[in-house]
Amino acid sequence: MKRIEIKQLLTQSVEHLIDTTINVKGWVRTKRGNKNVAFIALNDGSTINNIQVVVDLANFDEDLLRRITTGACISVDGKLVNSQGAGQSVEIQAQEIILYGEADPNTYPLQKKGHSMEFLREIGHLRLRTNTFGAICRIRHNMAYAIHTFFHERGFFYFHTPLITASDCEGAGEMFQVTTLNLDNPPRKEDGSVDYDQDFFGKMTALTVSGQLEGELGATALGKIYTFGPTFRAENSNTPRHLAEFWMVEPEMAFYQLDDLTALEEEFIKYCVRWALDHCADDLEFLNKMIDKDLIERLKSVVDTDFVRLPYTEGIRILEEAVKNGRKFEFPVYWGVDLASEHERYLVEEHFKKPVIMIDYPKEIKAFYMKQNDDGKTVQGTDVLFPQIGEIIGGSVREENYDKLMASITERNIPMKDMWWYLDTRRYGTCPHAGFGLGFERLMLFVTGMANIRDVIPFPRTPKTAEF
Ligand code: 4AD
Ligand code: MG
């Protein structure tokens, strides 16, 4: 018997299958009933919705039915009929049931509904079978697909940058070292320091914190590229918005200026959010009901609003004004400060009440590669700030002038030896260009309404946790 996925049964026209025998397979969500009949809600992951299997107890072995409990995996042959009950269009009258796998009710942890997110993280191998994580995983897939579609439609090339690298793009020193040296007894040079000549790559290497530098090599050859891959940061920040392993999308475009860059950032996020509204309606409705009552409203409002462009200096003025009027912040506000998330959220959620793209930051708080403005103080960096999330995108126009870039590298004491290939882009056929990085899980936080970044990726990596 050919298996039919539950999504197909519930969303497509299946008139022609009514009163025929079909097969479905899946995991039992609930079983209830009375002396004569059992109702099994079956889910196969293709959709958040369950198909109802109606079992006439007289036709089935009592022992088999006893072993079909929440979490068990079964295959059902049965007649597809229009449902008499409320809540579903069609249901299946079981004719034959095969029990693939039991789930002992005494030990299977997903019995009742309403487990805490903290508890579900402890059973990360099974939480995927809950409605919430099913919805999140399906939306995650859709967002990844939307991202590829967005860039492909606009003539960008998907460009693969290395995960193992010898350069620290963001210069924040938050890299996970990659080595095959024996850590108990590493080879040493005469001065006592570790001899990395003997390491696998003949030098010190680490997992990438960003594919941008190699992305710039791609953009200055192919015109427009994007990366989409795993990114690693050994920052010890235990917050609901940081992961040690996350996914980043990094487009890089030749001949883009600041206005082109911010326009692309805005268009890109709106495209992804609209995609979710158009393609993930069932899952979003579920999350809207169970997780965040304002979710769909918020998503729609972002798609329909113009994002604010806000120079950093103007942002500081607004924050200082707020402080003068009695608004309390934990961290001080002054020109030159790296804004804390409470400041960013004030601007977005209280002052403008819409997404803000902040531009023209003090050069001291931004990375070495950002294009320097003529004022000598600011650079053409852009952060896209979102309600609930704070920073969702970080990007900039790049400094294409060799001498200015060198000056910035020297100011920051960045070791030149490792940068020669990057500098060659400015030495040979340099061009104005720009790019940004979107934290995929930050986008997922926004689109799902989940509060913690650990709950929008199947297997989160954070300080002291690398289970599963
Ligand atoms: O602002 P960031 O550090 O910028 C860069 O890495 C640039 N090289 C990007 C570029 O211009 N190509 O990081 C970009 C985004 C942040 O805005 C945030 O959304 C996300 O990456 N991000 C993280 N997401 C989860 N966990 C972390 N630890 C993150 N660190 C950054
Ligand atoms: Mg940033």
Summarize pLDDT for 91-104 with one digit per residue, the tens.
999 999 999 999 99
- Average confidence (pLDDT) over 346-363: 97
Nearest to 167 by CA among 422, 370, 430: 422
Specify the ligand 1 atom closest to the Cα of 237.
28
Distance of alpha carbon 68 from alpha carbon 191, whole angstroms: 68
- Average confidence (pLDDT) over 359-383: 97
Q: Which ligand is nearest to the CA of 171?
A: 1
For ligand 1, atom 28, the nearest C-alpha belongs to 242
- Average confidence (pLDDT) over 135-156: 98
Residues 6+ apart with CB under 8 A from 185: none
Half-sphere exposure of 204 (CA within 13 A, CB side): 12
Structure tokens, 161: 């940058």
Q: 225: Cβ below 6 Å to ligand 1?
A: no
Structure tokens, 387: 């309600």
Residues 6+ apart with CB under 8 A from 9: 17, 22, 24, 51, 80, 90
> Residue 55: exposed, middle, or buried by beta-carbon count in 10 A (0-12, 13-18, 19+)?
buried
Contact (CB, 8 A) for 380 and 397: yes
Q: 360: Cβ below 6 Å to ligand 1?
A: no
Distance of alpha carbon 468 from alpha carbon 464, whole angstroms: 13
Q: With bands split at pLDDT 50, 70 and 90, how would you rate the model's confidence at 127?
A: very high
Residues 6+ apart with CB under 8 A from 36: 56, 57, 58
Report the separation in Å between the CA atom of 153 and the middle of ligand 1, taken as the mean of its atom positions.
Answer: 24
Question: Does 85 have pLDDT greater than 80?
Answer: no
Q: 392: Cβ below 6 Å to ligand 1?
A: yes
**pTM of the shown model:** 0.96
Nearest to 358 by CA among 372, 342, 350, 347: 347
Residue whose CB lies within 8 A of the most ligand 1 atoms, among 248, 393, 452, for a mutation test: 248
Distance of alpha carbon 222 from alpha carbon 87, whole angstroms: 53
Q: Which ligand is nearest to the CA of 434?
A: 1
Report the separation in Å between the CA atom of 309 and the middle of ligand 2, taken as the mean of its atom positions.
Answer: 17
Report the separation in Å between the CA atom of 453 and the middle of ligand 1, taken as the mean of its atom positions.
Answer: 14
Residue given tokens 């050859």 in the structure block = 221
Q: With bands split at pLDDT 50, 70 and 90, how would you rate the model's confidence at 416?
A: confident
Residue given tokens 């809540």 in the structure block = 87
Structure tokens, 63: 């022992």
More confident: 125 or 112: 125
Q: 390: Cβ below 6 Å to ligand 1?
A: no
Structure tokens, 95: 């004719």
Structure tokens, 71: 């979490």
Instruction: Please give the pLDDT value at position 114.
Output: 79
Nearest to 212 by CA among 395, 392, 362: 395
Report the separation in Å between the CA atom of 153 and the middle of ligand 2, taken as the mean of its atom positions.
Answer: 27
Q: Which ligand is nearest to the CA of 392?
A: 1
Question: Does 417 have pLDDT greater than 90?
Answer: no
Q: 174: Cβ below 6 Å to ligand 1?
A: no
Contact (CB, 8 A) for 427 and 401: no
Amino acid identity at 114: G
Amino acid identity at 218: G
What 8-state DSSP symbol labels residue 175?
A: P
Contact (CB, 8 A) for 382 and 436: yes
How far is residue 119 from each of residues 113, 125, 126, 237, 240, measured CA to CA in Å?
Answer: 12, 12, 11, 21, 16
Report the separation in Å between the CA atom of 391 and the middle of ligand 2, taken as the mean of its atom positions.
Answer: 7
> Residue 271: exposed, middle, or buried by beta-carbon count in 10 A (0-12, 13-18, 19+)?
middle
Helix-strand-coil split of the chain, %, nearest 5: 35, 25, 40
What 8-state DSSP symbol labels residue 387?
A: T
Instruction: Please give the pLDDT value at position 395.
Output: 98
Question: Does 171 have pLDDT greater than 90?
Answer: no
Specify the ligand 1 atom closest to the Cα of 233.
28
